[in-house]
Amino acid sequence: ENAVVKIAEKCEEKDTIISNSEENIIFQATYKESTGCKTSTVHGHGYMSTRPTERASMKDQLEEQARATVAANQKNQELQEHIEKLNDKLENQEAESERKLEEKLQQFKEEESRKIQALRDEFMAALQENTQTTLAQTTPKSASIPEAAKQVEIHATKIPSSKAKRSLSQTNKNYISSHNLMNAAVKCIRTRSQQV
């Protein structure tokens, strides 16, 4: 009875309901005062506590299992969210690295295109220069055309046909055709691109 009174006084002091552990502390102190024992063993509540029924203990177990299940589900959900965040982060990193790789590849292609264009321009300039020089060499002056024709006639009559063929083939060897120049330029471009 003293314990119940003290618990009620404590509740009025705090203006709240006190916890089970505080009730137990008050009960133990009151029990020691009323019996005068000095031992610190914890005593049961006696008439204040009742033994839980099978249904109540089953209910407590189910509630505990439900709390444990809720806690486990919450932890699993947190882990799942964390995994999803990590997967998103990984996908973002992969996309970023893919984008950087594409940029590097595009830069490389542009650089190769510039190099090929420079070689093409260089080749075309060399080809044009060569055709201009060959045209300048092959076009005779208009005043000297009759003289050249006369000299050819004179030489043609004096030189036997076998020697004429040889001299003609030697002049052909000295002349560089545009086809030969094109082949040489293509070979030059291939060797340069293989070196790069």
Q: Is the same domain home to 130 and 173?
A: no
Q: Is the same domain home to 151 and 84?
A: no
Give Cα 175 distance to the centre of its chain.
58
Backbone angles phi, psi at 88, to 5 degrees: -60, -45
Q: Is the same domain home to 37 and 57?
A: no
Residue pLDDT tens, the chain, 196 long: 566 677 777 676 766 677 777 777 777 777 777 776 666 655 555 555 566 688 888 998 999 999 999 999 999 999 999 999 999 999 999 999 999 999 999 999 999 999 999 999 988 888 888 877 776 666 545 445 556 555 555 555 555 555 555 555 555 555 666 777 777 777 877 777 677 5
Of 16, 34, 49, the position where a domain reaches its end is 49
Q: Compute CA distances 107 → 110, 113, 129, whole Å.
A: 5, 10, 33
Domain that residue 182 falls in: 144-196
Work out how many domains the chain is built from and give that number.
Answer: 3
pTM assigned to the model? 0.34
Q: Is the same domain home to 99 and 120?
A: yes
